Structure 1
Amino acid sequence: MTSADDKDGVGPWVTVRLPDGQDLRAMVLQRRLEHDGSWWYEVVITLLERDNVHGVMKAVPAPVSFWAPPAACTPVEGEDYSLVPTTRAGHAARWLVERRVQVPGQEGPLLLVHRGDCGSVRGSREEVDPQRAWQVLQRPDAAQCAVCRPERALIAALQSPRSP
């Protein structure tokens, strides 16, 4: 299965080797260049958790993201990694667009617009300029983050003569 086959996916697949030797298929959310020159990959796997649905306990999908070093990640043939968002340590974007990992039965927007320093981003993220952030915010499948609430700051940035 490729990321193109996964209608709810947001990134390419990679095989991750865990410390106990198990290999898991994970979706790549982003990569990051650290201060020491090493690269790390944020990946997500879907595990199960229990949920009380109308008084009945059920197992439901639960996405879990974690950071893995490149030595633990093996590319999957046929996957395109060229669009994986890339960040650098110490570099904070002004605006981020998060593409949320969709779980069957989960409701809510697919895209969330955040301030660049927001700590609540969980899915893959893309650094964007104010114009692009505003365009995304106008989409029917998008919303602003309820934590950092970037809309007012974004409007101010768009009205200033020097939008970053």
Structure 2
Amino acid sequence: MDSAADTSPGAEDGPRVLVTLPDEQRLFAVVRRRRRAPGRGGGWWYLLELSLWAAGRGPDGKVRADPGPVEFWAPAEVCEPLDGEDYSDVLTDRPRPRTPAFLIEETPGADTDTGEHLVVHRGYCAAASGIVYPAGTETAHRAAAAGAARCQVCTPPVP
């Protein structure tokens, strides 16, 4: 690792780590963002950037070798933080909440036993305005069978 790695294009755009590649090479990389792997106990992953060679054109039109950024995701276990680097501003991807298959809306005076004043919506419907609960397909079908109305805006596929 020579000092050229420290001054590569893009290095000033974010904090660096020392990343160990699958073949055991260790290189400096810039941290672009991070996210947690899905599922329980999912570990952290980092989007890293390395500058490698890429073909470019000079002002004279001739092909030349220029640094070219390459991005890749790496697990935290292979990323070694460096002393003096500030990782506090690294963008963190937040998990998006899962959209349920359906929504069950309780309107004023709703009777949940008979389904009266309940409305079934598609999971993404923005027309629901009462008290809203996420619901799976089976729950939505039971609510419809008990007398819940179908939303007139999103027209969910329930009987």
Larger Rg: 2
Specify which structure has the bigger relative contact order, considering alpha-carbon pairs within 8 angstroms and separated by 6 or more residues.
Answer: 1
Q: TM-score, normalised to structure 1's length?
A: 0.49
Q: TM-score, normalised to structure 2's length?
A: 0.50
